[in-house]
A and B are shown apart, each in its own frame.
Chain A
Amino acid sequence: MGVALLTALAALRAGRARRLALAALALAPVAVSSLLINALLPAGGGGLTTAVAALLRLLGATLPLTLLFATTEAPDLLNDLEARGASRRVVFVAGAALAAVPRAQARAVDVIEAQRARGLDTEGSWRRRLRGVLPLITPLIIGSLAEVEERTMALEVRAFGAPGRRTLLHRPPDSRGQQVARWAMAAALALGVAARAVAVAIR
């Protein structure tokens, strides 16, 4: 509950409360099914307390990540990782992973448009749509693989494989308050783990 509350406070401070609320709302089906199973069905066995605890764990795991991506641009995150000593390859792989979804979406749109231009029906009933999806898969996968090769070459011609550390154009701001908050969170996490371990040992 503490993590969820802290995240909500941070979201309010960052002006991202609406985004966080939407993310929490997206968990509603999971929350309802958890309540049904644990509180109402005898086979679930956990009761209302277990259901609420499960929901809070879910919120505690998902809301901080949602807030992170709602407040931090991918390039800033990568720049910060690099400033903290992560290798250029690790940073690039992380960046490529973050960029993979929008790139795949853009490629899918291109493929759909190309197939439509050739007369493929991608609208209408679900059966038609399903039939339309199959011819998209092969060019999408092959195109993505070919793009990986092209991007690898493009990186090589930009001296990505050069030895040593990269130059950082700018270092992300890191105020004293942020540093204190990070250490406090790390300490709280360690305390929480320790408290949990003690509780289990006593039980």
Chain B
Amino acid sequence: MIVLEEAAYRYPGTSVWALPPTSLELQPGDVVGVRGANERGKTTLCMVAAGLAPVTIGGELRGRVLLDGRPTVDLAAHELAQRCGVLFDNPIVQLTGLHHTVYEEVAFGPCNLGLPLAEVRQRTQAALGLVEIEHLAERDPGHLSGGETQLVALAGLLALRPGNLVLDEPTSRLDSERSRLVADAIIRVAEADVTVLIAEHDDRLLGRVCGRVVELGQKP
């Protein structure tokens, strides 16, 4: 569950509010799209909703942002990661680049939590299955297509079992075929009762996967 109550945010060292006061509520299992022209704060909204702003990148937050009922500012970065996954538009930077195989890459998050090995393997397998990329498990993550890389990044987030997912233009760098794969994966994730917030330009994608779409800057 993601709740923004008149949340406004400005980046460190700036006087301009990159995100004007915004209220939004997503119930468990909701898939909500966010539309808006460039520079309207879609990416900032994603960072704020996931707690990265201000917890990781600093800056000033006014209003409140709650993840599963807890204010994001009260959570450590690793606690946020287990409550809300964030997928950026550039899949390349989301992979660590330190692993031989997709399997190891997806297991990176659960390994970071220090979970027992059996649970790491179980979560990894489940995440690969949810995104339907089991066939990529032994591939080198550095030699995948853009769409495949984005799916691996998504699986890497899901392996942490977050109840919420924020996707910042997840298909903006992909062709229509790859976008379709990502859209299919988002639908499956939502069916698993994960709350999903998507900032996206692509109306077809929003129309296909979202229960409702809000225009940034307008009342939801």
Task: Check B117–A167 contact: CB distance below 8 A.
Answer: yes
Stretch at the interface among B93-101, B129-137, B185-193: B93-101
Q: How far is the CA of A162 from the CA of B113 in the complex (A)?
A: 6
Residues on A with C-beta less than 8 A from B56 are 152-153, 156
| B9 touches A (CB below 8 Å) | no
Query: Nearest Cβ in chain A — how far from B107, in angstroms?
Result: 6
Interface hits, B56-99 → A, CB 8 Å? 56-57, 76-78, 80-82, 85-86, 88, 90, 93-99
| A154 touches B (CB below 8 Å) | yes
Q: How far is the CA of A156 from the CA of B112 in the complex (A)?
A: 10
Task: Check A159–B96 contact: CB distance below 8 A.
Answer: no
Q: How far is the CA of A47 from the CA of B99 in the complex (A)?
A: 49
Residues on A with C-beta less than 8 A from B117 are 167-169
Residues on B with C-beta less than 8 A from A167 are 110-111, 113-117, 120
Query: Nearest Cβ in chain A — how far from B111, in angstroms?
Result: 4
Q: A152-B56, A158-B156, A167-B113 are in contact. List 4 more A-B contacts (CB 8 A).
A: A160-B112, A162-B112, A163-B78, A167-B117
Task: Check A92–B98 contact: CB distance below 8 A.
Answer: yes
Q: How far is the CA of A162 from the CA of B82 in the complex (A)?
A: 10
Task: Check A75–B99 contact: CB distance below 8 A.
Answer: yes
- 24 CB contacts below 8 A, A to B, read A75-B98, A92-B98, A95-B96, A147-B93, A150-B88, A150-B90, A153-B86, A154-B95, A155-B96, A156-B52, A157-B50, A157-B80, A157-B81, A157-B86, A157-B157, A158-B81, A158-B109, A158-B156, A158-B160, A159-B112, A163-B78, A164-B114, A165-B114, A169-B104
Interface size grouping (class) on chain B? 35 or more
Contact status of A161 and B78, CB under 8 A, knowing A167-B110, A167-B120: yes
Contact status of A158 and B77, CB under 8 A, knowing A103-B97, A167-B117, A169-B111: no
Q: Mark B102-127, 1 if CB is under 8 A from A, else 0.
A: 00100111111111110010000000
| A151 touches B (CB below 8 Å) | yes
Q: How far is the CA of A201 from the CA of B184 in the complex (A)?
A: 75
| Chain A: interface residue total (CB-CB under 8 A) | 31
Q: How far is the CA of A152 from the CA of B109 in the complex (A)?
A: 14
Interface hits, A153-203 → B, CB 8 Å? 153-169
Task: Check B98–A161 contact: CB distance below 8 A.
Answer: no
Task: Check B98–A88 contact: CB distance below 8 A.
Answer: no
Residues on B with C-beta less than 8 A from A161 are 76-78
Residue ranges of B at the interface with A (Cβ–Cβ < 8 Å): 50, 52, 56-57, 76-78, 80-82, 85-86, 88, 90, 93-100, 104, 107-117, 120, 156-157, 160
Q: How far is the CA of A95 from the CA of B108 in the complex (A)?
A: 14
Task: Check A159–B107 contact: CB distance below 8 A.
Answer: no
Task: Check A154–B111 contact: CB distance below 8 A.
Answer: no
Residues on A with C-beta less than 8 A from B116 are 167
Task: Check A159–B93 contact: CB distance below 8 A.
Answer: no
Residues on A with C-beta less than 8 A from B95 are 154
| A35 touches B (CB below 8 Å) | no
Q: How far is the CA of A159 from the CA of B104 in the complex (A)?
A: 15
Residues on A with C-beta less than 8 A from B85 are 157
Residues on B with C-beta less than 8 A from A73 are 100
Of B82, B98, B160, the residue contacting A74 (CB under 8 A) is: B98
Q: How far is the CA of A152 from the CA of B47 in the complex (A)?
A: 13
Contact status of A166 and B114, CB under 8 A, knowing A151-B93, A159-B109: yes
Residues on A with C-beta less than 8 A from B76 are 161
Residues on B with C-beta less than 8 A from A165 are 114
Query: Nearest Cβ in chain A — how far from B114, in angstroms?
Result: 4
Q: Which residue of A lies closest to B115 (CB)?
A: A167
Q: How far is the CA of A13 from the CA of B88 in the complex (A)?
A: 45
Query: Nearest Cβ in chain B — how far from A153, in angstroms?
Result: 6
Contact status of A150 and B93, CB under 8 A, knowing A162-B113, A167-B111: yes
| A31 touches B (CB below 8 Å) | no
Task: Check A159–B100 contact: CB distance below 8 A.
Answer: no
